[in-house]
Amino acid sequence: MSIERDYEDERRHVKGVTTTPKPPGPIARVSRPKAAARDWYDVFSTYYNTVADPFEAPARNAGLELLDATPGERVLDVGCGTGNALVALARAVGANGTAVGIDLAEGMCRASRRALTDAGLEWGVVVEGDAATTPFRKNTFDALFASFVLELFDTPEILTVLDEWRRVLDPGGRLCVVSLSRRGGGPYTRLYETVHDLVPTYVDCRPIYVRETLLEAGFRIVDEREETAWQLPVEVVHCRIT
């Protein structure tokens, strides 16, 4: 049985009504305002590649492999940060494709633009903006990539954010989400959530139920992988618009 079929089987049929699995438990809230996140990442952009990227890179690269961007495609990197994934996507789509990054923090946008320039990828574009309300038209992109981004949004906003990402994707478009996972979380996850509660501005990512959240948002899951970052579980989930 294929992975895609397995996930289709997760949909429950109750009295003739198809329902979608929902997250099996509560997740921590994100209490810091977006302005605080923007200011923090603006400062952190100078140190991000040294402090955080070595831990995130393996999971991010697994996500890029699953997304498998191809020449000529139009791809959006949500929360592009310092541009590591965006550079890889721009190389994959080539000069005949489109690779766009969007980030809330001006410092991250500068770093992404610099990374594209240093790599000689002049067709890459970076836009400063909120990933929950993007400036792009409907059906603009063939694929969307989000690495350690979805878990930054407060819980009530996550499904709205996924609706926005669906809006900018072409019919049949695909999405790859790399995110800290609460699935099977052990003592490291509980400790991390405690730190998140204490300093939510600086430790603003928190583990979520990625697979169930994407199913609840109406995406069709094609494949997934399990990775780790900072000894925390990470879900890498590749899905399509249903």
Domain residue limits, the chain: 3-241
Q: What is the tens place of the pLDDT at every residue in 203-235?
A: 888 899 999 999 999 999 999 999 999 889 999
Region label for 102, one of left (φ > 0), alpha (ψ between -120 and 50) or beta (otherwise): beta
The contacts of residue 62 (CB under 8 Å, 6+ apart) are: 178, 225, 227, 236
pLDDT at 78: 98
From CA 26, how far away is CA 14, in angstroms rounded?
A: 23
* Region 179-184 average pLDDT: 89
Output the pTM of the full model: 0.89
- Could you count the other beta carbons within 10 Å of the beta carbon of residue 68? 12
Of all residues in the chain, what percent carry a pLDDT higher than 70?
90
Two tokens, residue 168: 């900018």
To which CATH superfamily is domain 3-241 assigned? Answer: Vaccinia Virus protein VP39 (3.40.50.150)
* Region 56-78 average pLDDT: 98
From CA 52, how far away is CA 232, in angstroms rounded?
A: 13
From CA 125, how far away is CA 116, in angstroms rounded?
A: 8
Q: Cα 82 from chain centroid?
A: 14
Q: Evaluate whether 127 touches 113 at the Cβ level (below 8 Å).
A: no
Two tokens, residue 166: 């669906």
Two tokens, residue 7: 């996930």
Work out the pLDDT band at 6, boundaries 50, 70, 90: very low
pLDDT at 2: 35
Q: Which run of H or E residues covers position 233?
A: strand 232-241
From CA 28, how far away is CA 57, in angstroms rounded?
A: 24
pLDDT at 11: 43
* Region 145-165 average pLDDT: 96
pLDDT at 18 over 50: no
pLDDT at 194: 86
3-state SS assignment for residue 219: strand
pLDDT at 4 over 80: no
pLDDT at 9 over 60: no
The contacts of residue 53 (CB under 8 Å, 6+ apart) are: 82, 84
Summary mean pLDDT of the chain: 89
Q: DSSP letter string over 28-52?
A: ----S-HHHHHHHHHHHTTTHHHHT
From CA 3, how far away is CA 126, in angstroms rounded?
A: 34
- Could you count the other beta carbons within 10 Å of the beta carbon of residue 165? 23
| pLDDT greater at residue 185 or residue 51 | 51
